[in-house]
């Protein structure tokens, strides 16, 4: 049996909350076990929940959560960026599940360079890699990974809202999220990505106002 693994992420762009990376593995020819999967962005919340349960019951999987602090540390490093961070987490999933084929929804504009970087992180260099843009649109295991990642991201955001208040979805373009960051930038450091331009801009504005108050 050829074991096929698909990996995708959710929460790459938000200023609040974790980045989630998920891998789903099935045997070639057993795609019917996860029938109905598609890119998570094309599914309703209810359908994602339904498929999340189906995937967990019928496939091998691994989910990694990357907290804002780790993202900030990586972006402060001279040697790493967000793409390479994803590669390290994808390699962790591949090395644990040991597929014959790993399909990656590539976060980098340069797929060959990304594939080379990722391969160097693998324990088994003979694993076949398929590294493409929009792989979640073209491969069922990758779509399944996007669903697990999205559902987990939504769960974590619900937990954050329950504890800290209405953050919105966490994306900088969202008005509720921007207001939450503006009102709470100096509280709850564990949920904010301090390296994000949205956060830095608000801190800069609040800092300037603070100096002017003296």
Domain co-membership, 45 together with 128: yes
Q: Is the pTM of this model over 0.85?
A: yes
Enumerate long-range contacts of 11-14, CB under 8 Å, 24 or more apart.
11/149, 11/153, 11/170, 12/82, 12/86, 12/107, 13/171, 13/172, 14/169, 14/170, 14/171, 14/172, 14/177, 14/193
Asked, for residue 171, whether it belongs to a domain, the answer is: yes
Domain co-membership, 7 together with 107: yes
Asked, for residue 138, whether it belongs to a domain, the answer is: yes
Domains identified in the chain, total number: 2
Domain co-membership, 69 together with 171: no
What's the CATH code of the domain at 169? 1.10.10.460
pLDDT computed for residue 214 by the predictor: 29
**Structure-token pair, residue 138:** 């073209």
pLDDT computed for residue 39 by the predictor: 64
Domain co-membership, 31 together with 67: yes
Domain co-membership, 48 together with 134: yes
- What string of DSSP letters covers 48-115? HHHHHHHHHHHSEEEEEEE-HHHHHHHHH-SS--HHHHHHHHHHHHHHHH--SEEEEE--SS-HHHHH
pLDDT computed for residue 34 by the predictor: 87
Asked, for residue 214, whether it belongs to a domain, the answer is: no
pLDDT computed for residue 32 by the predictor: 84
Which of the residues in the chain have pLDDT under 70?
Answer: 39-40, 207-214
pLDDT computed for residue 76 by the predictor: 94
pLDDT tens for each residue of 45-69: 899 999 999 999 999 999 999 999 9
Q: Are 146 and 21 spatial neighbours (Cβ–Cβ below 8 Å)? A: no
pLDDT computed for residue 207 by the predictor: 67
Asked, for residue 213, whether it belongs to a domain, the answer is: no
Domain co-membership, 129 together with 167: no
pLDDT computed for residue 102 by the predictor: 98
């Amino acid at each position: 049996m050829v074991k096929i693994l698909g990996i995708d992420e959710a929460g790459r762009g938000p200023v609040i909350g974790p980045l989630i990376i998920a891998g789903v593995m099935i045997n070639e020819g057993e795609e019917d076990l996860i029938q109905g999967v598609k890119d998570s962005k094309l599914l309703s919340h209810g359908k994602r929940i339904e498929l999340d349960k189906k995937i967990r019951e019928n496939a091998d999987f691994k989910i990694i959560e990357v907290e804002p602090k780790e993202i900030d540390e990586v972006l402060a490093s001279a040697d790493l960026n967000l793409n390479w961070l994803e590669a390290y987490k994808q390699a962790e999933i591949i090395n644990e599940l040991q597929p014959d084929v790993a399909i990656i929804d590539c976060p980098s504009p340069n797929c060959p360079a990304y594939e080379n970087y990722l391969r160097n992180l693998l324990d088994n260099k003979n694993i076949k890699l398929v590294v493409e843009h929009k792989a979640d649109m073209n491969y069922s295991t990758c779509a399944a990974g996007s669903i697990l990642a999205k559902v987990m991201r939504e769960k974590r955001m619900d937990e954050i809202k329950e504890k800290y208040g209405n953050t919105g979805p966490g994306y900088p373009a969202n008005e509720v999220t921007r207001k939450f960051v503006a009102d709470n930038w100096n509280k709850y450091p564990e949920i904010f990505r301090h390296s994000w331009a949205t956060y830095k801009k608000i801190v800069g504005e609040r800092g300037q106002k603070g100096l002017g108050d003296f």
